[in-house]
Amino acid sequence: MGNYWFYENHTDGYGVNWKIKKIVHEETTKFQDLAIVDTVEWGKALVLDGMFQTTEKDEFIYHEIITHVVMKTHPNPQKVLIIGGGDGGVLREVLKYDSVIHVDMVEIDDRVVENSKVFFPQIASGFDDFRSNLHTKDGMQFVKNTLNKYDVAIVDSSDPIGPAVGLFSKEFYKDISNCLNDDGLVVVQSESPIFYEDIFKSVHKNMSAIFSNVYVYLATIPTYVSGPWSFTIGSKKYNPENLPNDKNYISGLKYYSESVHKAAFALPPFINQMIR
């Protein structure tokens, strides 16, 4: 085995080295640099613009925690919107609910989807489900123009660089709100409060300008930048901290549980201070 290392730069003073076995595939799409690398510790990984997005070993943590918190909060999620998430992990988790009858997934880069089908079939297993509808479009334009109404929206965006920048804006959250039903809710990944405090606070501020009920919860994603990773919910009606009686038991989950759900909303004082 060669001694190959992949360097991932997060800030001017912090980066991470990943030992890799080989570069499985790489290309430049219309929107970003895409690579599939085989790592020593984490299995195959999807890399976009030099940043790890998904790894085989820990993908279930991110995909379960961003999906099931809002899906369990809504009492009867039937129509779901996914923005981003081209690897298919969120789609896979959403489709575990029998109540779901229709999912619109909007991914701007079709090459992310196609490569995920080839190299991560266990993650991208939901694309052939009859309930899923893939739209290769800009997510911001989709929510601005759609006439559909959704119970739950999940914004599984990459970091706010390149095509994902607008997915962190107040205008985008307003458009998301407009395409939600009167009891709908949306969740977004809102970055690391420690390393990207400005982005984290901006997401909370922008969402609070649109939704009267905004909640933050945390999880640790091992292959993301060190420390807690945040998720922010905008809700029109339901409080995700008050987990209802579980009408939709989902078996086989490896990270999410009712106790994890409740604990995720226990924020350390320094993070609470950021969003006051």
Active-site annotation, residues: 156
191 is in an annotated binding site: no
What's the rounded Cα separation, in Å, for the pair 185 and 189? 14
Consult the annotation and say whether 77 binds a ligand: no
- Does 33 belong to an annotated binding site? no
**CA distance readout (Å), 252 to 25, 93, 97:** 31, 11, 13
Is there a binding annotation on residue 99? Answer: no
Residue 183 counted as an annotated binding residue: no
Structure tokens at 223: 């292959």
Angstrom CA distances, 28 to 32, 34, 35, 257, stand at 6, 6, 9, 38
Which residue matches tokens 């809710």? 185
In angstroms, the CA 81 to CA 168 distance is 16
63 is in an annotated binding site: yes
For 216, the token pair is: 């933050």
Q: Was 141 annotated as part of a binding site?
A: no
Residue 251, annotated as binding a ligand: no
Strand order from edge to edge, sheet including 229-235: 132-135, 102-106, 79-84, 150-156, 180-189, 229-235, 213-219
Closest CA to 155 of 119, 98, 206: 206
Ligand-binding annotation for 193, yes or no, is no
> Is 87 known as a binding-site position?
yes
Q: Which of 237, 246, 247, 239 is nearest to 265 (CA)?
A: 239
Amino acid occupying residue 114 = E
d(CA 180, CA 84): 17
Is residue 138 a known part of a binding site? Answer: yes
Number of other residues whose CB lies within 10 A of the CB of residue 210: 18
Token reading at 13:
């003073």
Residue positions in the annotated binding site? 32, 63, 87, 107, 138-139, 156-159, 163
The binding site for spermidine comprises 63, 87, 156-159
Q: Which residues are annotated as a binding site for S-methyl-5'-thioadenosine?
A: 32, 107, 138-139, 163
